[in-house]
Amino acid sequence: MSKKNEECCCEDSVCLCSTEGVLDLISKKWTLCIVNHLGSKEEGYRFNELERSMDGISPKSLSNRLKEMEEQGLVERKVKDTNPPEVRYILTEDGREMNEKLRPLLEWIDQRSEGVL
C-alpha cells in the first residue's frame, strides 16, 4: 500500500482524496452552469455573452469561477489579436470530458427538481 493510500480517510471505499480540488470547484455556485453553457457552444463564449446567457450571475462571480476553472485546466481563455482584443472562453479537453460525465447528473437533477426543490 502506498503512503498516499495509508493516509487516505476513505479506507473502505473509493479514494476521492485526489479529486478534492475539482470537487471543491464544481461544488461552488455557478460552476456547473458555466461548464454546461461552455459545453453547448464549441467556439466558446465571450465574457459578456456568457454573463448575459446566465441569469443572475454577477461579473465578479463569473470572473472568479472562470479563473478557478482555468487554473484547474478545465477552461481555456483564448485571446484573438484584434483591436480591441477578442477574448473567448472554451472548455479544454478535460473540461469537455467533465461536461460529458456530468451531463447525466445534471439531467437527473433537472428531472427531480420539481419534486425535490
pLDDT digits (tens, 9 = 90+) for 7-60: 666 666 777 677 777 777 778 889 989 999 999 999 999 999 999 999 999 999
pLDDT of 95: 94
C-alpha cell belonging to residue 24: 471543491
pLDDT of 66: 97
pLDDT digits (tens, 9 = 90+) for 94-115: 999 999 998 898 888 888 877 5
Please state the domain extents for the chain. Answer: 20-116
Give yes or no for a contact between 101 and 84, defined as CB atoms under 8 angstroms apart.
no
Cα radius of gyration rounded to whole Å, the chain: 17
Alpha carbons 84 and 103: distance in angstroms, whole number: 35
pLDDT of 10: 64
Give the pTM.
0.77
pLDDT of 116: 57
Alpha carbons 64 and 91: distance in angstroms, whole number: 16
Whether pLDDT at 1 is above 50:
no
Q: Residue 47: which of 83, 75, 81, 87 has the closest Cα?
A: 87
Query: What 3-state DSSP class applies to 25?
Result: helix
Domain with residues 20-116, CATH architecture: Orthogonal Bundle (1.10)
- The whole-number average pLDDT for the span 58-75 is 95
Query: What 3-state DSSP class applies to 87?
Result: strand
